[in-house]
Chains A and B, each alone.
Chain A
Amino acid sequence: MLSIKDIKASVEGKQILNGLNLEVKPGEVHAIMGPNGSGKSTLASVLAGREEFEVEGGTVNFLGKDLLDMSPEDRARAGMFLAFQYPVEIPGVSNANFLKTAVNEVRKSRRLAPYDSKEFLKIMKEKMALVEMDKAMTQRSVNEGFSGGEKKRNEIFQMAMLEPTLAILDETDSGLDIDALRIVSNGVNALRDGNRSFIVITHYQRLLDYIVPDFVHVLYKGRIVKSGTKELALELEEKGYDWIKEEVAVGA
């Protein structure tokens, strides 16, 4: 479903991704780990189509289409979702109103009739239950005054509403308390249906106890330098990144 080949990208003249390859098949969960500043969020931004990030080489195929040729909104409509590391606040726009606009926009692109208010509320209720979100949150302005954890939970709620084909979660676990971590993970697991794929960016192997990945990759200096299964995450937890950095140094 997603095929990234030799992608090179820079921001403000600084090269961040240096020939990155990744292959994600339907239903798979890929975890991406790596030291701070290694390019994980950059990868997410490039996939989501953020303008500041200049793609200098390589190809990305998403569901048979050239992803790099699509506008950010078309990527979203095609089924790509990014749970932001730092969700943005939109004052005065209620969560519910924002989501209704988004969901119906996506439906329109798929030639489906827009949900009316009643249908929409019903679906929203279901999904709220999924992430144990309080009703009051949907009436508040998007992320405005939300605590760090609430923002992350709101991202997962939005994901549940938008039912993407591929979801990229950028450090959704950071800032979550133990209960919230479990709730958010349950929410993600409930959306695993054998077709939907996930790229889970995280620093902590603990999350991967809840959301069990099929593959774990280490991103370092803009490339995936090591891939393995969930055992790799355990090993990283134990040993840190130094041994990987050394391997890279030796290899180079």
Chain B
Amino acid sequence: MSEDLKILDEVTNSEYKYGFVSNIESDNAPKGLDESTVRFISAKKNEPEWLLEWRLKSFRHWLTLEEPTWANVHYPKIDFQDIIYYSAPKKKPSLNSLDELDPEIKATFDKLGISLIEQQRLAGVAVDAVIDSVSVKTTFRETLGELGIIFCSFSEAVHDHPDLIKKYLGSVIPHTDNYYAALNSAVFSDGSFCYIPKGVRCPMELSTYFRINSAGTGQFERTLIIAEEGSFVSYLEGCTAPMRDENQLHAAIVEIISHTDATVKYSTVQNWYPGDKNGKGGIYNFVTKRGICMGDRAKISWTQVETGSAITWKYPSVILKGDYSVGEFYSVAVTNNMQQADTGTKMIHLGKKTKSIIISKGISCGKSQNSYRGLVRIGKKAEHARNFSQCDSLLIGDKCGAHTFPYIEVGNKTAKVEHEATTSKVGEDQIFYCNQRGISTEDAVNLIVNGYCKEVFNQLPMEFAVEAQKLLAISLEGSVG
């Protein structure tokens, strides 16, 4: 815990620390969206015909859909014709060593404090770094390769492992799933692909750092993770974004397939630019994340720490198809200033004796609005399925709002579903108690909020937990007094 103080120190001198723009020449698609945009992207990426067809099918379906309005978020209408749907760093690298990395990109990483070299050496983390839409560098691939693990950019997987992509692409989130999923399926740029063969335990955390980097560029990543029978993988997704004036759209898709006896842990620290104090700028984050426990005793665990974005719309879900399969959702969502978050999960129990747990911690400060929206559905055949949900809201100040929308549908009488919810305030008493021990109010709030989130942070790998605490501290800045 010696990190705490360092973290608290950093809090005091940062506005939006990660707000800077690096100057990588872009190779952009023309603004706007029609079939030719979809074709442009597909051509740029040298894609096979079947994938172009799939994109076009998705695009045509998207045209028939209406933007959803049921979430508890409010924002000006998005002009989908005013967005650039593809941009790639010009010097498209295929690197053998870090020395070959574009110095601009390298500098960006250095500013973020995630030097690849350090990451490789210290943490044993393989980093697939995505700047804008094209993967720049994938490391550790060889080590992983020896185990038969595939960890590469999505575009590479399309060329190198077309059978896997054909089989699984859209299998958990069909292109018809929802408005943003259809959009992503049409114009997705790149992302990560991960395949763990039967019986293999991935020896390191797989990590991808995403960044939005070109002004006015929408970002549409697509991630696909497949864990074969009896395998294990822990996957980390971390986000930081430069400061922006216009709102930026972000609509990612993550699909996970966990086969019999396999476990996938997916952890996210999300820190897109939230906009300034008055709500100007900031990322619109509309994400579709879903996993399926295909086989018996399969497990999928989502852990997310959401501190960023002007708008967050995100419900990582698990379909519990296999008997005895397990779905978990651990979430911390912080909103400050004018941020709005509508986030939660869906647990769809289909198999017998399936189990799910939901721990959600919402923290609202400033004038922000923080909503939990969760669905627990127990199918007819889900004998003895169990769910436990705990949704806590913490309010800091009196201008913010916390809302909870739990939906529970039980189709089998033997199921047991428990839901607990609490709302509390950071108490004056607690703050004063800390003050009296020499701790400033700002640090006290951090300490108290960190304690409040502990159950979720405990689910994160060590280094990531530290990162999460840092982001928490940054986003709580100025929330009191």
Interfacial residues, chain A to chain B (CB-CB below 8 A): 48-52, 71-73, 75-77, 81-82, 84, 87-94, 96-106, 109, 114, 116-117, 141, 158, 162
A50 CA / B438 CA spacing, docked (Å): 13
B454, A92: Cβ atoms closer than 8 Å? yes
Partner of B447, one of A50, A93, A104: A93
Complexed CA–CA distance, A76 and B454 (Å): 27
Secondary structure at the B interface, as helix, strand, loop or mixed, is helix
A238→B435 CA distance, assembly (Å): 39
Q: How far is the CA of A96 from the CA of B435 in the complex (A)?
A: 17
**Binding-face segment, B77-85, B270-278, B370-378, B426-434:** B426-434
Q: In the bound complex, do residue B438 and residue A102 qualify as a contact, i.e. CB atoms below 8 Å apart?
A: yes
| Contact partners of A75 in chain B: CB under 8 A | 436
B436 adjacent to A72 (CB under 8 Å): yes
Closest 4 CB pairs of A and B: A92-B451, A93-B451, A72-B435, A102-B437
CA distance A52 to B428 in the complex (A): 10
Instruction: Give Cα A48–Cα B436 distance, bound, in whole angstroms.
Output: 7
Question: Which of B427, B437, B441, B450 is close to A92, meaning CB atoms less than 8 Å apart?
Answer: B450
Contact of B440 with A by CB under 8 A: yes
Q: How near does chain B come to A47, taking the closest CB pair, in angstroms?
A: 10
The answer on a CB contact under 8 Å between A114 and B5 is yes
Q: List 14 A-B contacts (CB under 8 A).
A: A51-B432, A71-B435, A72-B432, A72-B436, A75-B436, A84-B436, A88-B427, A90-B433, A101-B447, A105-B438, A105-B443, A114-B5, A117-B1, A158-B437
**Nearest CB of chain A from residue B393's CB, rounded to whole Å:** 14
Tell me, yes or no, whether B408 is within 8 Å of chain A by CB: no
B10 to chain A, nearest CB (A): 14
What residues on B are CB-neighbors of A73 within 8 Å? Answer: 435-436, 438-441
Q: Which of B430, B453, B455 contacts A90 (CB 8 A)?
A: B430
State how many angstroms separate the Cβ of A172 from the closest Cβ of chain B.
15
Q: Is B433's CB under 8 angstroms from A102's CB? A: no
Residue contact B432 to A98, C-beta cutoff 8 Å: no
Report the minimum CB–CB distance from B117 to chain A (whole Å): 26
Assuming the A-B contacts A100-B1, A105-B443, are A76 and B453 also in contact, with contact meaning beta carbons closer than 8 angstroms in the complex? no
Could you tell me if A77 and B436 are in contact, using CB atoms closer than 8 angstroms?
no
User: What residues of chain A lie closer than 8 Å to B438, measured between beta carbons?
Assistant: 73, 76-77, 102-103, 105-106, 109, 162
**A88–B450 touching, CB < 8 Å:** no
> Is the CB–CB distance between A105 and B451 below 8 Å?
no
Cα A204 to Cα B353 with chains together (Å)? 60
Q: Give A49's nearest chain B residue, CB to CB.
A: B435
Chain B residues near A50 (CB, 8 Å)?
Answer: 432
Chain B residues positioned under 8 Å from A104 (CB to CB): 5
Number of interface residues of B (CB under 8 A): 28
Given contacts A76-B436, A76-B438, A105-B443, contact A88 B430 (CB under 8 A): yes
**Given contacts A88-B427, A104-B5, A114-B5, is CB(A93)–CB(B450) below 8 Å?**
yes
Chain A neighbourhood of B454, CB < 8 A: 92-93
Asked whether B2 is an interface residue with its Cβ less than 8 Å from the other chain, the reply is: yes
- Inside 8 A of B428's CB, which chain A residues have their CB? 51-52
Q: Report B-chain residues with C-beta under 8 Å of the C-beta of A158.
A: 437
Instruction: Return B269 CB to nearest CB of chain A, in Å.
Output: 19
Q: Does B4 contact A (CB under 8 A)?
A: yes
* Chain B proximity of A206: nearest CB distance (Å): 27
A101–B4 contact, CB under 8 A? yes
Asked if B209 is an interface residue, CB under 8 A from chain A, the answer is no
For residue A196, give the distance in angstroms from its CB to the closest CB of chain B: 17
Tell me the smallest distance from the CB of B370 to a CB of chain A, in Å. Answer: 19
- In the assembled complex, the CB of B199 is this many whole angstroms from the nearest CB of chain A, namely 37
CA distance A210 to B305 in the complex (A): 51
Query: Who on chain A is nearest to B6 by CB?
Result: A114
Residue interface mask B161-199, A partner, CB < 8 A = 1: 000000000000000000000000000000000000000
What is the distance, in angstroms, from B472's C-beta to the closest C-beta of chain A?
13
CB of B448 closer than 8 Å to a CB of A: yes
Q: Which residues of A contact B453 (CB under 8 A)?
A: 92
Is B18's beta carbon under 8 Å from chain A?
Answer: no
Check: B452 CB closer than 8 A to any chain A CB.
Answer: yes
Residues of A within 8 A of B430 (CB): 88-90
Set of chain B residues within 8 Å of A92, measured between Cβ atoms: 450-455
Minimum CB–CB distance from B106 to chain A (whole Å) comes to: 32
Beta-carbon contact of B451 and A88 below 8 Å: no
* Contact partners of B427 in chain A: CB under 8 A: 88
**For residue B443, which residues in chain A have a CB less than 8 angstroms away from its CB?**
101, 105
For B429, list chain A residues within 8 Å (CB).
88
- A122 CB to closest chain B CB (Å) equals 14
Given known contacts A104-B5, A116-B2, is B447 in contact with A98 (CB within 8 Å)? yes
User: Given known contacts A88-B430, A92-B453, A93-B448, is B435 in contact with A98 (CB within 8 Å)?
Assistant: no
Rounded to whole Å, the gap between the CB of B422 and the closest CB of chain A is: 11
> Residue A98 contacts which of B2, B437, B440, B452 (CB distance < 8 angstroms)?
B437
Bound-state Cα–Cα, A94 to B1, Å:
10
A51 to B427, CA, bound (A): 13
Q: B432 to A141, Cβ gap below 8 A?
A: no
Specify which of A88, A97, A116 is in contact with B433 (CB 8 Å cutoff).
Answer: A88
Minimum CB–CB distance from B378 to chain A (whole Å) comes to 31
Q: Is the CB of A97 within 8 A of B432?
A: no
- Residues from chain B with a CB closer than 8 A to the CB of A98 are 434, 437, 447
B245 to chain A, nearest CB (A): 37
A102-B434, A117-B1 given; name 14 further pairs at CB < 8 Å: A49-B435, A51-B432, A73-B435, A76-B435, A76-B436, A76-B438, A89-B430, A90-B447, A92-B453, A98-B434, A101-B439, A103-B438, A105-B438, A109-B438
